[in-house]
Copies of this chain bind each other. A is one copy, B any other.
């Protein structure tokens, strides 16, 4: 009954096996390993993007910060949701790497809307040299609220950004979960919807620690290389990043892992609803239902593990996350407590 986070899970057996296999013998360091070339090919094939550049790092914060710094100047505004991970959970890493200012766009359920984005775009960058200039848009899918953007919704938002010639980034820490939840292809969710650069997260979905920065236009690939090194994010024994990413993408493992995480999420959400618990729209693997502190205490006493957060009217919100390793038995034991 461990629903604290998908990063509390271990790695999928296939990914771990690939790391073990990658250990044999000598290998070129710093990204010149043979597996990295295969990773790039895999990403290009899966995203139908034959020119895409791919760079691996070990953390999602690094991926986001490097992607942002490569696309927004120090005097730019990064438009992001008010509760985006880049805004709330990265301790200024995006600002540190880019020098830019995060401008918070409101929106219910973790989602920027065309109206809120349009209003924010209209408000920023109109003061000449005195204020920040419009810089870029960053979206998150699956959002921090557990909701999901469809490709069409993304395309609408990037369309607004592109009216101002802004590059668009997608924080895909749970990208595979978003694909599974929407049925979209990788291309539909990214470059076909106006995304220029993607943080493709492996860590939360079955890897030990690997994320890919995917540049659909490779023009900034060398700049990203240099920023990665300057940030201390270039692995010497890079083969161990490549091996994870290769195994994860191969044979659709990433989608199978996300399918399991989402299926368990839906089992959990539907089970709670069947027990008269309101669960806000949560089509992937994360949800935020509320109940009384007493209920929380009872669930924890029974062994459930998850985060509690303040909520209105004397209630507390639960943050429940399922992962590739969550089982039906985990979910059902938890549901039986209601």
Interface residues of A (CB under 8 A from B): 2, 4-5, 7-11, 16, 19-20, 22-30, 57-66, 73-75, 88-93, 95-97, 99-102, 104, 127, 129-133, 203-204, 208-209, 223, 225-237, 240, 305, 325
Q: Does the CB pair B95–A234 fall under 8 Å?
A: no
Do residues B23 and A230 form an inter-chain contact, with CB atoms below 8 A?
Answer: no
B-chain residues with CB within 8 Å of residue A58 when the two chains form the complex: 58, 209, 235
A75 touches B101 (CB 8 A): no
Q: A62-B233, A229-B93, A233-B59 are in contact. Are A88 and B127 (CB under 8 A)?
A: yes
A164: min CB distance to chain B, Å: 15
- Roughly how many angstroms separate A61 CA and B63 CA in the complex, as a whole number? 17
Residues of B within 8 Å of A29, CB to CB, are 5, 7-8
A–B pairs, 7, beta carbons within 8 Å = A9-B26, A10-B26, A30-B129, A59-B232, A75-B91, A92-B99, A209-B237
User: B231 and A88: CB pair below 8 A?
Assistant: no
Q: Are B74 and A92 in contact (CB under 8 A)?
A: yes
Which B residues are in CB contact (< 8 Å) with A130? 30, 88-91, 229
A26 partner residues in chain B, CB cutoff 8 A? 2, 4, 8-10, 305, 325
Q: Are A90 and B229 in contact (CB under 8 A)?
A: yes
With A24-B10, A91-B129, A92-B132 in contact, is A75–B16 under 8 Å at CB? no
A59-B235 in contact (CB<8A): yes
With a CB–CB cut-off of 8 A, which chain B residues contact A88? 127, 130-131
Q: In the complex, A133 Cα to B88 Cα: how many Å?
A: 11
